[in-house]
Amino acid sequence: MAKSLLLVSRQAPWSGPGAREALDIALAGGAFDLPIGMLFLDDGVFQLALTQHPEAIQQKDLTANLQALPLFGVDSLYAAQRSLDERGLADTTLGLPVQCLDDAALRDLIDRYDLVITL
């Protein structure tokens, strides 16, 4: 049986390569039918915001990659409620359907996965 993998994405979309690398790992793992979940934590929740203008800083938009996650079998998407609140984001305005979790639920989530990678 394949081990389950939780990817924790903690970087804003264009603050470095971490956000894109997390998405690439998720999409590749999903293509091989690995049980993968993705948690958006800290500044990583900015990846979920609908109002992004990557062209202003000459970057590619990550929205298409994010929206492809369910197509690759990555349906377990989570966001830290505290991170959303601290950054003024509401779960109703996110570009993907994610399950918002409080701190206790985050601990339980991490415990359910065999492997956890933080980017």
* List of residues 6+ apart from 108 with CB closer than 8 A: none
Mean of per-residue pLDDT scores for the chain? 87
What is the pTM assigned to this prediction?
A: 0.88
- pLDDT tens per residue across span 60-109: 667 777 888 888 889 899 999 999 999 999 988 898 899 999 999 999 99
Whether residue 110 contacts residue 4, with contact meaning beta carbons closer than 8 Å, is answered with no
